[in-house]
């Protein structure tokens, strides 16, 4: 890990903090793992009397290539932006094609949980088909399914969550270039990752506030219950078994049920663990507020080498982006926008669609802006009670 202490005037957008930053009386301003994404964040440190910060250059998203190296990727970057614009132009059509897959998958997971709860056989064949369909959709245009992930269904969290985790884990594994058979096993394993919750009392599953210690211990049995179901159903994949039993194990050994650590943890379970955490954090529940996707990305990085395997954290961030698809942001001209796509070459400057508030909801202006080719930049994430008109993302 390459750590360097630098003056505030030398801070560049995309740099990652190596240590917590506090004000003069010791109050926390930014946590270790925080990414600088706007000049206002640096100005705040000036205002608080901070003179310098420690930067993790290894994790930072700054461009350290030489001019000759940059020249070699110019053509690639242009082609990537053109490809992203093409995907966005075809997004409505793609979303129509995957809506049925998404809704059907929710029903399939609901049936799986119901059958597991009452000891009935699980329909593994339909899970196989849905996993392949999801994977093919990701390969065709991952933006469509990523857009649907952001339409959180509060009342059907249990079923939507497992589906979202399968989508995220499959996209992540595809980004890592796993073989086709492993991609399918990872997607299936994510489908089944919470199947053990079918054996947890409904009073605990549906409790509207934080679990007490006794209830928490019961909930933490769900990976073990899942292993029992796996063997009862004569499932054969070691990848799927690892995901079901180890998706709550932590890199530092603080997880459950067996407190495994580092290389003891199945690498496929480590992938699903990040996807599981990301979707859970970005979803509102009765006992917690949802967290903005870009903030969850920073939390994930701050938990690198603690909760998550540091070897794959950066890869996950490049899969979902610093500003994930569907994130609401505010530009430096005070316009509100929604992130539509992002370039792997510049995660801080995505393609956005500008929005306006109309009749109390956010609606599209129809204007797409590639921030790579613009003087505009993201000033901050947009936090407001103003709701997004879902027609921006999905046409009913």
Do residue 115 and residue 189 come from a single domain?
Answer: yes
Do residue 45 and residue 115 come from a single domain?
Answer: no
Phi, psi of 336, deg, nearest 5: -90, 145
Angle between helices 267-281 and 293-302 (to 10 degrees): 140
Do residue 115 and residue 259 come from a single domain?
Answer: yes
Do residue 115 and residue 237 come from a single domain?
Answer: yes
The string of DSSP codes covering 292-316 is -HHHHHHHHHHTBTTTB-HHHHHHH
Do residue 208 and residue 253 come from a single domain?
Answer: yes
Q: How far apart are the first and last CA of the chain?
A: 48
Q: Tell me the residue length of the chain.
A: 396
Residue 322's CB: how many other CB atoms inside 10 A?
Answer: 24
For residue 76, tell me if it sits in a domain.
no
pLDDT tens series, the chain, 396 aa: 688 999 998 888 778 899 999 988 889 999 888 888 777 888 889 989 999 999 988 777 766 556 665 555 555 566 777 778 888 887 877 888 888 888 888 899 999 999 999 999 999 999 999 999 999 999 888 888 888 787 655 445 667 889 999 999 999 999 899 999 999 999 999 999 999 999 999 899 888 888 999 999 999 999 999 999 999 999 999 999 999 999 999 999 999 999 999 989 999 999 999 999 999 998 877 666 778 888 888 889 888 889 999 888 888 988 888 888 888 889 989 899 999 988 877 788 889 999 988 888 888 888 889 888 788 888 888 876 655 655 554 433
Do residue 50 and residue 160 come from a single domain?
Answer: no
Angle at 93 between CA 88 and CA 97, to 5 degrees: 120
Domain boundary among 289, 320, 351: 320
CATH of residue 19? 3.90.105.10
For residue 68, tell me if it sits in a domain.
no
Angle at 320 between CA 318 and CA 323, to 5 degrees: 100
Angstrom distance (rounded) from CA 81 to CA 76: 9
CB contact at 8 A, 343 and 80:
yes
Q: Identify the DSSP state of 385.
A: S
Domain boundary among 274, 299, 320: 320
Angle between helices 124-149 and 67-89 (to 10 degrees): 110
Do residue 361 and residue 285 come from a single domain?
Answer: no
Angstrom distance (rounded) from CA 337 to CA 354: 4
Domain span at 11 = 3-56
Residue 337: per-residue pLDDT: 92
Do residue 50 and residue 145 come from a single domain?
Answer: no
**Does the model's pTM come out above 0.85?**
no
Residue 66: per-residue pLDDT: 60
For residue 74, tell me if it sits in a domain.
no
CB contact at 8 A, 152 and 282:
yes
Alpha helix ranges (H) inside the chain? 39-47, 67-89, 91-117, 124-149, 157-175, 180-192, 202-205, 213-219, 222-232, 238-246, 267-281, 293-302, 310-320
Angle between helices 91-117 and 124-149 (to 10 degrees): 130
Residue 76: per-residue pLDDT: 55
CB contact at 8 A, 146 and 326:
yes
Residue 63: per-residue pLDDT: 60
Q: Residue 146's closest CA among 154, 155, 133, 137?
A: 137
Domain boundary among 304, 320, 336: 320
Q: In total, how many domains does the chain have?
A: 3
């Amino acid at each position: 890990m390459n750590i360097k202490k630098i003056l505030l005037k030398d801070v560049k957008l995309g740099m990652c903090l190596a240590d917590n930053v506090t004000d003069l009386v010791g109050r926390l301003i930014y946590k270790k793992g925080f990414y600088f994404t706007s000049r206002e964040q640096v100005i705040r440190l000036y205002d608080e009397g901070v003179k310098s910060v420690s930067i993790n250059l290894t994790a930072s998203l700054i461009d350290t290539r030489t001019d000759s190296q940059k020249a070699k990727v110019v053509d690639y970057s242009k082609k990537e932006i053109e490809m992203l614009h093409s995907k966005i132009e075809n997004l409505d059509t793609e979303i129509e094609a995957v809506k049925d897959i998404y809704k059907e998958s929710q029903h399939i997971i609901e049936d799986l949980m119901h059958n597991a709860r009452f000891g009935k056989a699980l329909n593994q064949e339909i899970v196989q088909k849905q996993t392949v369909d999801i994977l093919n959709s990701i390969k065709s245009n991952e933006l469509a399914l990523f857009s649907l992930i952001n339409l959180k269904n509060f009342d059907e969290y249990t079923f939507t969550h497992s589906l979202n985790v399968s989508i995220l884990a499959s996209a992540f594994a595809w980004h890592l270039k796993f073989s086709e058979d492993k991609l399918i096993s990872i997607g299936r394993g994510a489908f089944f990752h919470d199947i053990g919750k079918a054996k947890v009392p409904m009073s605990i599953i549906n409790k509207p506030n934080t679990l007490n210690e006794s209830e928490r211990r019961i909930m933490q049995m769900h990976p073990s219950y899942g292993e029992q179901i796996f063997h009862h159903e004569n499932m054969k994949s070691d990848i799927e078994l690892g995901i079901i039993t180890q998706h709550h194990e932590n890199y530092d050994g603080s997880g459950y049920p067996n407190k495994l650590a580092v290389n003891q943890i199945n690498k496929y379970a480590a992938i699903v663990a990040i996807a599981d955490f990301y979707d859970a954090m970005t979803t509102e529940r009765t006992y917690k507020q949802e967290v903005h996707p870009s903030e969850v990305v920073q939390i994930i990085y701050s938990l690198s080498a603690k909760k998550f395997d540091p070897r794959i954290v950066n890869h996950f961030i490049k899969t979902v982006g610093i500003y994930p698809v569907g994130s609401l942001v505010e530009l430096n001209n005070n316009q509100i926008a929604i992130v539509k796509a992002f370039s792997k070459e510049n995660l801080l400057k995505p393609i956005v669609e500008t929005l306006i508030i109309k009749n109390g909801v956010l609606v599209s202006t129809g204007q797409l802006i590639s921030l790579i080719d613009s003087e505009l930049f993201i000033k901050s994430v947009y936090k407001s009670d103003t709701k997004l008109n879902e027609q921006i993302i999905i046409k009913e």
